């Protein structure tokens, strides 16, 4: 491996899937302003994710309809105007 290209500030962080509330404690160097208390009683930086292995159809084998920002309603409204 080449030296000097990898970050050295790795620390334990909690990654949380917002759609299923699944959380995992792992090492990362991603920045976060939020913290969360983990099962071991310690506080760790919290990094929120829209999708993870717990909610992605490839890993779950199930198709889920996730409408996080009202995308379906925006689509319907946009194309209903064209019908008129």
pLDDT tops 80 at residue 13: yes
pLDDT given at position 1: 67
pLDDT at 69: 64
Q: Do residues 45 and 13 lie in contact, with contact meaning Cβ atoms separated by under 8 Å?
A: yes
* pLDDT at residue 72 in the model: 74
Q: Tell me how crowded residue 21 is: count the other CB atoms within 10 A of its CB.
A: 9
Those residues with Cβ within 8 angstroms of residue 29's Cβ, 6 or more apart along the chain or in another chain: 7, 9, 10, 11
Residue-level pLDDT at 34: 94
* pTM, full prediction: 0.64
- Taking the alpha carbons of 10, 12, 32, 44 in that order, is the dihedral positive or negative? negative
- Give tens-digit pLDDT for 14-60: 999 888 888 999 999 999 999 999 999 999 999 998 877 777 666 66
The sign one gets for the Cα dihedral 46, 28, 59, 23 is: negative
Spatial separation of the C-alpha atoms in residues 6 and 10, rounded to whole Å: 10
């Amino acid at each position: 491996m080449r030296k000097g290209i990898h970050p050295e500030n790795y620390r334990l962080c909690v990654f949380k899937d917002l759609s299923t509330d699944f959380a995992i404690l792992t090492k990362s160097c991603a920045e976060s302003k939020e913290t969360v208390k983990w099962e071991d009683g310690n506080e760790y930086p919290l990094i929120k994710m829209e999708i993870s292995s717990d909610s992605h159809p490839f890993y779950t084998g199930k198709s889920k309809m996730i409408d996080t920002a009202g995308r379906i309603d925006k689509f319907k409204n946009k194309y209903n105007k064209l019908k008129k």
